[in-house]
A and B are shown apart, each in its own frame.
Chain A
Amino acid sequence: DAGVIQSPRHEVTEMGQEVTLRCKPISGHNSLFWYRQTMMRGLELLIYFNNNVPIDDSGMPEDRFSAKMPNASFSTLKIQPSEPRDSAVYFCASVRGVEYTEAFFGQGTRLTVV
């Protein structure tokens, strides 16, 4: 298996623009997580899905952030409009099932908003 695949690896955008980050989880995994890595908070949980259904989005910092999982093999995290303080590395991770806790991470998307 190719593992969790995120795209793009790097994104540079201007303030106010819409940004969409993409994630393909490992086939057969039921849960998907979006994290943001910052110096202050480490790996901050933004939202997670189980069987394509959002379970908890309390970590999404503002209404400018939204996430979808239209099917078991694809998820997006959208920021609209983007701001410089959104600059961070965003990670997607997937977990096989409810009884498992080992999450497999993608390589991340480094977002820079200028």
Chain B
Amino acid sequence: DQQVKQNSPSLSVQEGRISILNCDYTNSMFDYFLWYKKYPAEGPTFLISISSIKDKNEDGRFTVFLNKSAKHLSLHIVPSQPGDSAVYFCAASVYQGAQKLVFGQGTRLTINP
């Protein structure tokens, strides 16, 4: 069972415009949510996170929104830059003996010049 789902395998956005990546989850026990960015031949790197007690967290061009009632989160990148082209993974965390970190399938974002 896929507890964290990213239903869009790919997204193409014009440089300078807003990129919106979406993620849905099923486990209401998740209490922390993260976004990771992955370039080819590298491991994923942490981008931004949000606690379940908040509904928005902003860091420069990146903003994460959390809608707990809908079990949905999104990542907004504005303005989008060519260097943002990568695979983005949504992740959710719940404490089960340790912080169990569950990831989605990933969305490949391409920023077109």
Chain A interface residues (CB < 8 Å from chain B): 4, 30-31, 33, 35, 39-45, 48-50, 55-56, 91, 93, 95, 98, 100-108
Complex interface: chain A residues within 8 A of B41 (CB) = 107-108
> Which secondary structure characterizes the binding site on chain B?
strand
Q: A98 and B100: CB pair below 8 A? A: no
The 10 closest A-B pairs by CB, nearest first: A105-B43, A42-B105, A50-B98, A43-B103, A55-B97, A101-B93, A31-B98, A42-B106, A101-B32, A102-B46
B43: contacting residue among A31, A39, A55, A106, CB under 8 A: A106
* Interface status of B80 (Cβ within 8 A of chain A): no
Q: A91 and B44: CB pair below 8 A? A: yes
Q: B99 and A101: CB pair below 8 A? A: yes
- With A42-B104, A43-B91, A50-B97 already in contact, 9 other A-B pairs whose C-beta atoms are closer than 8 Å: A41-B2, A45-B101, A45-B103, A48-B101, A55-B100, A56-B96, A91-B43, A103-B101, A108-B43
How many Å from the CB of A4 to the closest CB on chain B? 7
Could you list 19 examples of A-B contacts with CB < 8 Å? A30-B98, A31-B98, A33-B101, A42-B106, A43-B103, A44-B103, A48-B100, A48-B101, A50-B98, A55-B97, A55-B100, A56-B100, A98-B98, A98-B99, A101-B93, A102-B46, A102-B49, A104-B46, A107-B43
| Chain A residue at smallest Cβ distance from B98 | A50
- Complex Cα–Cα for A43 and B34 (A): 13
Q: A55 and B98: CB pair below 8 A? A: yes
Residues of chain B from 39 to 86 with CB closer than 8 A to chain A in the complex: 41-46, 49
- Complex Cα–Cα for A104 and B43 (A): 8
- Complex Cα–Cα for A28 and B13 (A): 40
- Complex Cα–Cα for A107 and B89 (A): 16
